[in-house]
Amino acid sequence: MAQADSTERTTVPEDAGTPADRTGGFLGLRHWGPDARGGNTWRRGLVIALLALLTAVLLAFHAEMPNSVGNLGSLLETFLPWVGLAVPVLLVPALLRRSATALLALLVPAVLWANLFGGLVSDKSGGTGDWTVVTHNVEAGNTDVPGTIRGLVASDAQIVALQELAGNQLRSYETGLAGAYPHHTVEGTVGLWSKYPIGEVSPVDLKIGWTRAFRARVTTPQGPVAVYVAHLPSVRLKAESGFTAHQRDVSAQALGDAIQAEPVKKVLLLGDLNGTMNDRSLAPVTSQMRSAQGAAGDGFGFSWPAAFPMARIDQIMSKGGLKPVDSRTLPRDGSDHLAVAATYRYQ
Here the CATH number for the domain that contains residue 202 is: 3.60.10.10
Count CB neighbours of 88 within 10 A: 10
Going by the DSSP 8-state scheme, the letter that residue 82 receives in this structure is G
Say yes or no: 206 and 80 in one domain.
no
pLDDT, residue 101, reads 94
- The answer as to whether 78 is a domain residue is yes
What does pTM read for this prediction? 0.84
Say yes or no: 135 and 112 in one domain.
no
- Burial class for 162, CB neighbours closer than 10 Å (0-12, 13-18, 19+): buried
Structural domain boundaries enclosing 67 = 19-121
Say yes or no: 92 and 201 in one domain.
no
pLDDT, residue 20, reads 43
CA-wise closest residue to 327 among 132, 106, 148, 194:
132
Q: How does pLDDT run across 136-185, given as a tens digit for each residue?
A: 999 999 999 999 999 999 999 999 999 999 988 999 999 999 999 999 99
Say yes or no: 96 and 148 in one domain.
no
Say yes or no: 117 and 144 in one domain.
no
Instruction: Outline where 38-184 has alpha helix (H).
Output: 46-60, 72-78, 86-96, 100-121, 145-154, 167-177
pLDDT, residue 31, reads 62
pLDDT, residue 32, reads 65
- The answer as to whether 272 is a domain residue is yes
Residue 199's identity, in one-letter code, is G
Residues of the chain with pLDDT under 50: 1-2, 4-8, 10, 12-29, 241
Q: How does pLDDT run across 86-118, given as a tens digit for each residue?
A: 999 999 999 998 999 999 999 999 999 999 999
- The answer as to whether 55 is a domain residue is yes
pLDDT, residue 18, reads 46
pLDDT, residue 30, reads 52
Annotate 13-75 with DSSP letters as a single string.
PTT-S-HHHHTTSGGGGGGGS--TTS--TTTTTHHHHHHHHHHHHHHHSGGGS-STTTTHHHH
Backbone angles phi, psi at 209, to 5 degrees: 95, -10
Domain count for the chain = 2
Say yes or no: 217 and 337 in one domain.
yes
